[in-house]
A = this chain, B = another copy of it.
Amino acid sequence: MTVKKKFIAAIGGSDPSTEEEQMAEEVGRELAKRDAVLVCGGLGGVMEAACRGAQSEGGLTIGILPGESRRGANPYVQIPIVTGMGYARNVVVVKSAQAVIAIGGSYGTLSEISHALQNSIPVIGLNTWSLSKNGQQDNSIILAQNPVEAVEQALSLATNQ
């Protein structure tokens, strides 16, 4: 592989709905078909489904783990990064990506969305959070209709930072 590949994060919870899990797997497959590297938090749920999808198409998968051991990674993580930093690792997940696809998710996912927006890393949303402040809608999360659209948006918006 070469450093020219794009690195895209798939973020979402450990306890997704069936639909979200299917979307995550398709996101992983579509990223791998387009030769992108998948970055994720390395655990179960959306993270595992995305890795499984990517691996099924021969893609490379990176899992940035909160715990103390590589054995905490889901079985489809090929590159386990062991931080031992708990959820402070969420910052590393988004900073290591050039764009982020958020699928469903709870407050951990929302923290990753926030850190990405704070760092001007594009966020594409599938069934995820929407934000407003003082009654005004914030449209920074780019809504996608389906995984293919999310992946194409992510790749076209990927920053070079």
Min Cβ gap A156→B in Å is 18
Is there contact, CB below 8 Å, between A86 and B87? no
Is there contact, CB below 8 Å, between B128 and A70? no
Chain A to chain B contacts (Cβ below 8 Å), 25 pairs = A1-B60, A1-B78, A3-B77, A7-B70, A68-B86, A82-B95, A83-B92, A83-B95, A85-B85, A85-B92, A86-B86, A88-B91, A88-B92, A91-B91, A107-B114, A107-B115, A107-B117, A108-B118, A110-B113, A110-B114, A111-B118, A113-B114, A127-B134, A128-B133, A131-B131
Which residues of A (139-161) have their CB < 8 Å from a CB of B? 140, 160-161
Q: Which residue of B lies closest to A75 (CB)?
A: B3
> Given A1-B60, A107-B114, A84–B77 Cβ distance below 8 Å?
no
Asked if A43 CB lies within 8 Å of chain B CBs, one says no
Contact residue range for chain A?
Answer: 35 or more
- Chain copies in the assembly? 4
- Complex A-B, nearest 7 residue pairs according to Cβ-Cβ distance, in ascending order: A111-B114, A107-B118, A82-B95, A110-B114, A107-B117, A84-B86, A85-B85
